Structure 1
Amino acid sequence: MPLTDIAIRKAKPKKKPYKLSDFGGLYILVKPNGSKLWRWKYRIDGKENVYSIGKYPTVSIVETRVERDAARMLVKQGIHPAHDRQSQKVAQVEDNANNFVAVSRGWIEQRKPKWTPHYLRQIEKVLADDVYPYIGNLPMRSITAAHLLAIIKRVEKRGAATVAILIRQWCGAIFRYAASHLLADADPAAMLKGAIDKPKVKHHQPLTKKDIPRFITALESYAGYRSTVIALKLLMLTFVRPVELRAAEWKEFDLDLAEWHIPPEHMKMREAHIVPLSKQAIELL
């Protein structure tokens, strides 16, 4: 006859442990100290084993029977329930250690040799300000698309849609990195593509043919720093990015060969670049 709560509560301790049987190999072991422990008896390879499910009433009758049924499925596969539970505990400990902050730092460490210092600072600041406070301590496998959607919508709401899109892209890269190291099973950010409308980018208007002579004339009469005038002229003569010119060092220039050797760390694509120098550029330098 199946056990009831009343029958279990009425069971009094004795000098020696004794059993109250439920059904399907399940029983309660009543100890002399009064504790009542759920046990399930099963066989694997003809050998009898006992699985400890928990303590009554912390684990109820219904919960115990559900656990017994799950354990029975494992036994059918030749798996000891206690071994499976221990494996799950180890996996959970590993998951807790592999939270979003830890994994994202691993991704950054791997990728940063290919980034400019400015881009590295941008990623670290955005993650620290907008992502870590909400999912930083969560295990990677527990983070869902809903978590990420709430983050990017929060950023979009403050008027930073471009940053929200970058967060989705960076989180996607972090999850792909995690999956490649068996720390995640999927990329929840992939489902959020299109969740944020990309703002229309308005580029600075280029100078027309008529504008260029007027700009150069105005530049010659500029009363500010002479270095600013030289820099603007060099930009027109070399077609480099402003950041590459600002970060330039004298050791990069070979005026005899009329070449400017820009090192990889100053280039967006992290590849060395050689810029031929015209006579006008050399004169300015």
Structure 2
Amino acid sequence: MALTDVAVRSAKPREKEYKLADSAGLYLLVTPSGGKLWRLKYRMHGMERKLAIGRYPDVSLGDARKARDLAREAASGGIDPAAAKRRERIAAKVAAGTTFGDVALEYIEKAEREGRSPATINKLRWSRDWLMPALGHRPVDQVEPHELLAVLKRQEAKGNLETAKRTRAFASRVFRYAVATARAKADPAALLLGAVAAPRPTHLAAIIDPKRAGELLRAIDDYSGQPITRFALALSPHVFVRPGELRQAEWVEVDFEAAIWRIPAARMKKRREHVVPLSRQSIAILKQLQGLTGNGRYVFPALGKPTKSMSENTATAALRRMGFAADEMTAHGFRAMASTLLNESGKWSPDAIERALAHKDNDQVRAAYHRGAHWNERVAMAQWWSDHVDTLRDGGAVIPFAKFLS
């Protein structure tokens, strides 16, 4: 006989739990403590199963019967309702404990394990800090595009367009990581591409006029500041590398016999090992510097801190001290100087110049070919360029490099 609301409401606890049957496998389990629990007994693949539906009076008799009917319908279709409910419970628990902040931190820790540079990790943490107040506590799979947009619009209103661009890009990486690890189904940040004003591209200042380049090179030659800084400035125009790659150079990377400097992938922007052919001038600078710092790890150690590399601001400060303003020359500008004047010379293939600058070729087959095919040209180009740097420094006539060493 089916249960009634009165029968359910009137059921009293006993010394032992007991059942009050309804129909089609549904029953009420009454516990000694007075709890009234809806349960459903059904069969799957010939085996008896039980499903917990809820507690009375939170779940009424009518609601329990609706849940019973849905469960039996699922079972008849081959879906085990108890297993499905267990999966839903686990998923809900995971979602509740998987906030955007948690996933973002996990993504950053993954980037650290992959060997991303400290500078990159700091930028990722900085982006996370921007997003934490608004999104940090939110389940990652429940963040809506408008929530992220509000953060980006605040940055845009303050004129921080580059910050907004970086913040959206970081959020997108976090959401894609959440999708890949089965904690989200979509990347809401992708929908916001173009939703805020794009920053104007900024070009790092560089001297590319040959006459002014010569003045810069002579100023470096006469620099009266710290000797290690002078050596860093002197080597910069010869090797085309990024400022961070130069100042973090380690002696173990330099092979004087082979005349190469092998920069590991972990320190390269494109995460790919880069080999720099060293001209006679570069070798001469490094050999003299070896007498000052060769017993330590870094080619250019920080002043008074030999276990750390030179600060990223050291070269810039030296350029300002020599009278070259921020809108005229930067530490990064030596790369632009080399790129511009090498291309203008017409002597070298654009591919060899791009390889010397460690610019990434998106075609991996083509990139592998060019790494080998242009090596001899890069070696010859490195020596020609260093000779040309000497010419620029003297205003036209090549001076023996020994002048710098005297």
Q: Does the alignment reach a TM-score above 0.5?
A: yes
TM-score (norm 2): 0.55
Partner of 1:145 in structure 2?
145
Partner of 1:177 in structure 2?
177
Query: 1:91 is aligned with what amino acid?
Result: A
- Contact kept, 8 Å, 2:265 with 2:272, in 1: the verdict is yes
Alignment of 1:113-192 (within 5 A): 113-127=114-128, 129-192=129-192
Percentage of matched positions with identical amino acids: 37
Establish whether residue 85 from structure 1 lines up as the match of residue 76 from structure 2. Answer: no
CA distance in 2, matches of 1:10, 1:261: 80
- Residue by residue over 1:112-131, the C-alpha shift from the partner in whole angstroms, topping out at 9 and shown as x without a partner, is 3242121112212321x123
Establish whether residue 95 from structure 1 lines up as the match of residue 95 from structure 2. Answer: yes
CA distance in 2, matches of 1:216, 1:15: 95
Deviates more, 1:48-57 or 1:212-221: 48-57
CA distance in 2, matches of 1:70, 1:266: 58
The aligned length equals: 280
- Residue by residue over 1:82-105, the C-alpha shift from the partner in whole angstroms, topping out at 9 and shown as x without a partner, is 443233112222333444344334
- Residue by residue over 1:159-180, the C-alpha shift from the partner in whole angstroms, topping out at 9 and shown as x without a partner, is 4332322232222223323323
Partner of 1:245 in structure 2?
246
**Deviation of 1:76 (Å):** 4.6
Alignment of 1:26-105 (within 5 A): 53-59=53-59, 67=67, 70-71=70-71, 73-105=73-105
Query: 2:241 is aligned with what amino acid?
Result: V
Alignment of 1:257-268 (within 5 A): 257-268=258-269
> Closer, same or farther in 2 for the Cα pair 1:125/1:33, shift >3 Å?
closer
**Deviation of 1:39 (Å):** 6.6
Query: 2:188 is aligned with what amino acid?
Result: P
- Contact kept, 8 Å, 1:145 with 1:188, in 2: the verdict is yes
Query: 1:210 is aligned with what amino acid?
Result: K
- Residue by residue over 1:222-246, the C-alpha shift from the partner in whole angstroms, topping out at 9 and shown as x without a partner, is 4433333332221111111111111
- Residue by residue over 1:102-156, the C-alpha shift from the partner in whole angstroms, topping out at 9 and shown as x without a partner, is 43344334433242121112212321x1233443344433333333333333444
CA distance in 2, matches of 1:270, 1:99: 30
- Contact kept, 8 Å, 2:161 with 2:199, in 1: the verdict is yes
- Contact kept, 8 Å, 2:13 with 2:30, in 1: the verdict is no
**Pairwise CA RMSD of aligned residues?**
4.0
- 2:94 partner SS: helix
CA distance in 1, matches of 2:173, 2:68: 41
> Closer, same or farther in 2 for the Cα pair 1:82/1:282, shift >3 Å?
closer
Establish whether residue 202 from structure 1 lines up as the match of residue 199 from structure 2. Answer: no
Partner of 1:225 in structure 2?
226
CA distance in 1, matches of 2:68, 2:234: 80
Deviates more, 1:152-161 or 1:195-204: 152-161
Q: Which structure's relative contact order is higher, taking Cα pairs within 8 Å and 6+ residues apart?
A: 2
- Contact kept, 8 Å, 2:19 with 2:27, in 1: the verdict is no
Partner of 2:285 in structure 1?
284
> Closer, same or farther in 2 for the Cα pair 1:173/1:32, shift >3 Å?
closer
- 2:210 partner SS: coil
- 1:261 partner SS: strand
- 2:203 partner SS: coil
> Closer, same or farther in 2 for the Cα pair 1:283/1:77, shift >3 Å?
same
Query: 1:188 is aligned with what amino acid?
Result: P
- 1:210 partner SS: helix
TM-score (norm 1): 0.74
Partner of 2:293 in structure 1?
none
Query: 1:246 is aligned with what amino acid?
Result: R
